[in-house]
C-alpha cells in the first residue's frame, strides 16, 4: 500500500515502485503488467492514478501499448536512459560493472570537451561556482563537507560553464549517475574522497583560459577511472 493521500504523490510512488520492478526484471520483456484492477488492489490506488502512472512509464520507454497485447514491458534498448528516474532505478539496483563502464565512456566523450569549452566561455561567476565546489572538496578531505555532493557540484558547474545548451541539459543525468559511479570508483581506488589535486588541475586550466590543458587534464582523470572499471571487468 502506498503511503500518502495526495493523488499526484500516489501516482509518483506507483511510477517508482513499478519502474524499479521493471528494471529488476520482475516483469519479463514482452509480457504485460498485472491488470489495472490488480494494481489498484495491490497498491490501494485509484484507476485514474494507475493509468497516469502507466502513461508516465510509457513516456520513459519502459512500457508500450500494443494491439491485442495491451501494455507490455519493453526491452532496455527502448528505455530513455537519459531520464533521471530510469537511470536512478538502474543504478540503485546494484549496477553491473559494464553499466558503470558505459557511463564512464559517455563521461569521457563529454566532460573533457565541456572543460575545454568552459576554459573559453566561463565568466567570473562560473569560475567562482567551480572554485567553491573545489574548496568544499578540499574541506571534505578533513571531514568538514559532504565529499560526494562537492564532487558532483564541481562537475555540474563545469557543464554549466561550457555554455553549450546540450551539455547543460545533461547536468541532471550526469549528477544522477555520479552519485553511484563516484562511490564505486573511489572504492576501487581505495579512497574515501575524490582527488582534490586532480580536480584542482582542471580548475586551474579553466581559470587560465587554456582549453587544451583543460581538455587534457579532464581526459586524464576520466580515462583513469574508466581503466579501473575495465580492469575489474577483465579480472
CATH number for the domain harbouring residue 67: 1.10.10.10
Give residue 214's pLDDT. 99
Q: What is the pLDDT of residues 185-225, one digit of tens each?
A: 877 777 767 789 999 999 999 999 999 999 999 999 999 98
User: Are residues 122 and 17 part of one domain?
Assistant: no
90 domain residue, yes or no: no
52 domain residue, yes or no: yes
Q: What is the tally of structural domains in the chain?
A: 2
* Mean pLDDT of the chain, nearest integer: 90
User: Are residues 125 and 212 part of one domain?
Assistant: yes
User: Are residues 66 and 130 part of one domain?
Assistant: no
The pTM (predicted TM-score) of the whole model is 0.82
Q: Tell me the Cα Rg of the chain.
A: 21
DSSP-derived letter for residue 218 is H
Find out whether 36 and 47 touch, Cβ atoms under 8 Å: yes
Is the pLDDT assigned to residue 163 strictly greater than 60? yes
Q: What is the pLDDT of residues 50-102, one digit of tens each?
A: 999 999 999 999 999 877 778 899 999 999 998 989 988 988 877 788 888 99
Is the pLDDT assigned to residue 8 strictly greater than 70? no
In 3D space, the residue among 102, 90, 115 whose CA is nearest the CA of residue 226 turns out to be 102
The span from the CA of 157 to the CA of 131, in Å, is 9
The span from the CA of 20 to the CA of 86, in Å, is 8
Give residue 115's pLDDT. 99
Give residue 188's pLDDT. 76
The span from the CA of 35 to the CA of 201, in Å, is 56
187 domain residue, yes or no: yes
Range of the domain at 189: 95-234
48 domain residue, yes or no: yes
User: Are residues 55 and 17 part of one domain?
Assistant: yes
User: Are residues 27 and 103 part of one domain?
Assistant: no
Q: What is the CATH number of the domain that holds 107?
A: 1.20.120.530
Amino acid at each position: 500500500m502506498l503511503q500518502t493521500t495526495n493523488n499526484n504523490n500516489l501516482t509518483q510512488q506507483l511510477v517508482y515502485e513499478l519502474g524499479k520492478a521493471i528494471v529488476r526484471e520482475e516483469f519479463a520483456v514482452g509480457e504485460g503488467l498485472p491488470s489495472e484492477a490488480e494494481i489498484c488492489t495491490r497498491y490501494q490506488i485509484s484507476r485514474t492514478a494507475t493509468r497516469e502512472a502507466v502513461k508516465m512509464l510509457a513516456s520513459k520507454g519502459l512500457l508500450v501499448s500494443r494491439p491485442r497485447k495491451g501494455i507490455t514491458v519493453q526491452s532496455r534498448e527502448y528505455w530513455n536512459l537519459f531520464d533521471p528516474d530510469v537511470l536512478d532505478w538502474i543504478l540503485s539496483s546494484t549496477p553491473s560493472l559494464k553499466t558503470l563502464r558505459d557511463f564512464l565512456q559517455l563521461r569521457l566523450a563529454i566532460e573533457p570537451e565541456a572543460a575545454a569549452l568552459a576554459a573559453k566561455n566561463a565568466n567570473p561567476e562560473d569560475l567562482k561556482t567551480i572554485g567553491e565546489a573545489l574548496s568544499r572538496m578540499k574541506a571534505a578531505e578533513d571531514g568538514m563537507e559532504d565529499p560526494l555532493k562537492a564532487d558532483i557540484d564541481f562537475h555540474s558547474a563545469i557543464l554549466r560553464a561550457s555554455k553549450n545548451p546540450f551539455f547543460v541539459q545533461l547536468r541532471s543525468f550526469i549528477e544522477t549517475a555520479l552519485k553511484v559511479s563516484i562511490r564505486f570508483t573511489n572504492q576501487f581506488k581505495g579512497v574515501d574522497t575524490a582527488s582534490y589535486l586532480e580536480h584542482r588541475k582542471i580548475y586551474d586550466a579553466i581559470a587560465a583560459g587554456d582549453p587544451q590543458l583543460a581538455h587534457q587534464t579532464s581526459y586524464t582523470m576520466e580515462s583513469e577511472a574508466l581503466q579501473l572499471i575495465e580492469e575489474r571487468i577483465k579480472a
